[in-house]
Amino acid sequence: MRHPPEGVLRRLLDEPAGVADSDRRHVAGCPQCLDELATIREDAALVGAALATEDGADVDVAAAWQRLSTRAPATAPRLSAPPRPGRSRAVLRRPVVAALAVAVVLAGAGTAAANDWLQIFRTERIAPVSLSAGDLVALPDLQAYGDVVVTGGGDPQAVPDAAAARAQTGIDVPEVTSLPRGVSGEPIYQVGDQVNATFTFSADRAAQAAAQAGETLPPPPPGLDGSRVRLVVGPGVAQTWSSSAGAPALVVGRAVAPTAYSSGVPFETVRDYLLSLPGLPDDVAAQLRTFTADGATLPLPVPADEVTTSSAQVDGVPATVLQTRDRTLAAVVWVDDGVVTAVAGSLDVDEVLSIARDLR
Amino acid sequence: MDLSRPGGAAAAAVLAAPGAVAGAAERRVGGKERVTVSGSVRGGVRADLDEIFRRDYQRVVAVAARVLGSRDQAEDVAQDVFLSFGRSSVPAGEARGWLSVAAAHTALNLLRSGRRRASREETAAAADDPVVSDVAEAVVTLEERSRVRAALARLPRKHAVALVLRHSGLSYADVAAALDLSPGSVGTTVRRAESALRKELNRHASSA
């Protein structure tokens, strides 16, 4: 009879009942297998000893629960948390999102006519802006400088299939032609409505925020108080394939890309003033300024200490590739004709690019 | 505006990923601070969080501690894992496997990022009182423990997670379900990981 593979011998150590009777009988009478089993047992014991720690019997569960309870409402990491854009205040309070909001405002170009909403920015490209985690915290929350009103949105809604998603959003759901290894099954389809966010600058509010931070607010230019910038994004669709443990293995999403409009003072005035606000790191401000030249590049703030970025092409369109430094997650994002598409997953860069290029 | 909106979910996920629970969404399960579009938990944390926390907290700490060798850091990891879990819609029946995998991934990410505080590890390791065979206990020195953990961070992720979960007491069936492996291949995966770590110990032992 053939010798059982080493995986079976390994299980024999832990769960003999999980090993077939015929294999157990063979091992008991086979000197070669018994030798191998002894080696495997020794390795397992050594590694077990090396990894052993206190058994944890004395952890203070009550204290830990208390700690969690104080963190849970506000600062939960988003590992498994779905983006919840409809909850505008919470969303805008998140540093990353606040940074993006600032960036989009700043990225606009062109002159806004008085009295009327004028398009000042339409996303045509995406480029990463490197930020350290510290910078993200330091970036000003727009709500400190005025009123932010978000309309539309709401939680993403699940829909049964791609056709329903298209019917609700008017967006063609990108079709993934071949799934990467390790990803299977049917995706979950979700749709989100268009979201409008209007930011009204308040000189008083900004002065208070600056004072609280121990800074002096630069004097706002005439006409800025009360002027508004409107951001529009969406609708969009997302399809998510989950692993058996419930975490997403692959996400493919597409949405109408952000567009910004302004009313009141010329946009450059708003932009330059926001750039001068205390809290915006100088190098980030300088980087953001460079994006305004063509008025169409959406800066994507990226925590540089955790994510690396690079460039690629997807069907002839420039794309931004993001990868966590531990190489566990990768994403590619690009904009084509006012539509932003993203492919992300617990995959490597080649895999997400391959999926992106094969989308139909 | 938030890219995390509609189509941007993916980008947001990745941006989020580095933050906290690095592991939970990756390779089939992990995602540092953030990847999931499990949107059924509305406006806060799931109702069964309290119960599951009390039931599984100790286990989650134990899994992370096995990777990190530090109780303090393991408790930090457990906090992040439960925060993520609280916002997820993972079915309660799969919670234990999900939490264990997320703890292993998150701890491995932390290990790999090298942000551990060495002194803490040493303190914790010195206080260890592992229940192992006398032979193994005598053979594995503190320095070797550090080496094994460094080697653990270099293993293929699935091998490392399978090893940690198995040594944390999960059954072969539980490990298989949590990692999307066939039960038959768990033994092979664990064995390969142990063999690789053992080689690491031998390599240093012979060069010392």
What are the structure tokens assigned to A15, written together?
């769960």
Compute CA distances A191 → A254, A359, B39, whole Å. Answer: 10, 18, 11
Please, which pLDDT band fits residue A84 given cuts at 50, 70 and 90? Answer: very low
Asked whether the beta carbons of residue B15 and residue A307 sit closer than 8 angstroms, the reply is yes
> What is the per-residue pLDDT for A194?
80
Top-confidence residue, B206 or A219 = A219
Q: Give chain B positions within 8 Å (CB) of A301.
A: 15
B37: nearest CA partner in chain A: A82
Distance separating alpha carbons of residues B99 and B97, to the nearest angstrom = 5
- Match 């293929």 to its residue by tokens: B156
Asked whether the beta carbons of residue B24 and residue A346 sit closer than 8 angstroms, the reply is no
Distance separating alpha carbons of residues B3 and B79, to the nearest angstrom = 27
Asked whether the beta carbons of residue B11 and residue A8 sit closer than 8 angstroms, the reply is no
Report ipTM (2 d.p.).
Answer: 0.70
Distance separating alpha carbons of residues B103 and B110, to the nearest angstrom = 11
Q: What is the DSSP letter of A153?
A: -
A223-260 pLDDT, tens digit each: 777 777 777 777 888 888 876 666 668 888 888 887 77
Q: Give chain A positions within 8 Å (CB) of B149.
A: 50-51
B125-156 pLDDT, tens digit each: 444 444 444 444 445 667 777 788 888 888 88
Query: Touching check for B170 and chain A: CB below 8 Å?
Result: no
Residues 70-89 of chain B whose Cβ lies under 8 A from any Cβ of chain A: 71, 74-75, 78-80, 82-89
- A–B: how many Cβ contacts below 8 A? 439
Q: Give chain A positions within 8 Å (CB) of B62.
A: 53, 55-56
Ordered alpha helix ranges (H), chain A: 6-14, 21-28, 31-51, 61-75, 88-93, 95-107, 133-138, 162-169, 203-212, 267-276, 282-291, 349-358
pTM of the model: 0.46
Please, which pLDDT band fits residue B164 given cuts at 50, 70 and 90? Answer: very high
Asked whether residue B13 carries a pLDDT value surpassing 90, the answer given is no
